[in-house]
Amino acid sequence: MTQQTDDAGLAAEPTVPPPGQGGMTSLPPVVAAERSRRGRKPRPRQTRVVIKKVGPWSVFRFSLLFYFCIMLVILFALAILYGLLGAIGALDSVTKLTRDLFADQSFEIHGGWIFSRLAAIGFAMVILWSFINLFLAFLYNLISDVVGGVEVTLAEHRRRG
């Protein structure tokens, strides 16, 4: 790759020489030789690493965000279900059945009350499970000191094309 200058001496866009006139070829020489020798692509490189420690603070932050997203998905799904049940009249039927069974004419289903309690329970569960994951991170670090960690094999990802 060469770089040309214009009349004022400023650098212009780099140019790539055509193949066969020096410069870079489409494949590095080692890869080209490897392909021609075997007639196929070389295998991706692999390496083995050992996970000895995990960061408790990063596990806690990830857990908070992960469980919060799960809580939002569940609340959204329940809101859709509540809306569908209201649209087809199932909530009115349950209200009427409950009033008839228990002779309580003041019974009503309040969506706002239900969802405020579900959100409070959801936030409590987000905090609880995040602390459980924090405890598990500390436990993993303690056990890893004894057994040496978990061995993982990483492979290089090669894109096609």
- Rounded to whole angstroms, the Cα distance separating 64 from 73 reads 14
Residue 4: helix, strand or coil by DSSP?
strand
SS3 51: strand
The per-residue pLDDT for 114 is: 94
Average pLDDT over residues 29-54: 74
pLDDT digit string, tens, across residues 57-67? 999 999 999 99
pLDDT in tens, 90-144: 999 998 998 888 887 888 889 999 999 999 999 999 999 999 999 999 999 999 9
What residue type is 82 in one-letter code?
Y
Over 90: is that where the pLDDT of 3 sits? no
Please return the burial class of 137, using the count of CB atoms within 10 Å of its CB with bins 0-12, 13-18 and 19+: buried
Q: Which of 3-12, 61-70, 72-81, 93-102 has the lowest mean pLDDT?
A: 3-12
Give the sign of the dihedral formed by CA 32, CA 37, CA 40, CA 42. Answer: negative
Structure tokens of 66?
């992960």
Average pLDDT for the chain: 83
What is residue 37's predicted lDDT score, i.e. its pLDDT?
59
End-to-end CA distance of the chain: 23
Between these two residues, 18 and 105, which has the higher pLDDT value?
A: 105
Q: Is the pLDDT of residue 13 over 70?
A: no
Rg from Cα positions in the chain: 32
Spatial CB neighbours of 48, under 8 Å, sequence gap ≥ 6 = 151, 152, 153, 154
The model's pTM is 0.65
Residues 4/15, Cβ–Cβ less than 8 Å? yes
Which 3 state secondary structure label does DSSP give 12? strand
SS3 54: coil
Name, in order, each residue with C-beta under 8 angstroms of 42's C-beta and a sequence gap of 6 or more: 31, 34, 35
**Is pLDDT above 50 for 5?**
no
3-state DSSP assignment of residue 152: strand
Over residues 42-52, the mean pLDDT reads 86
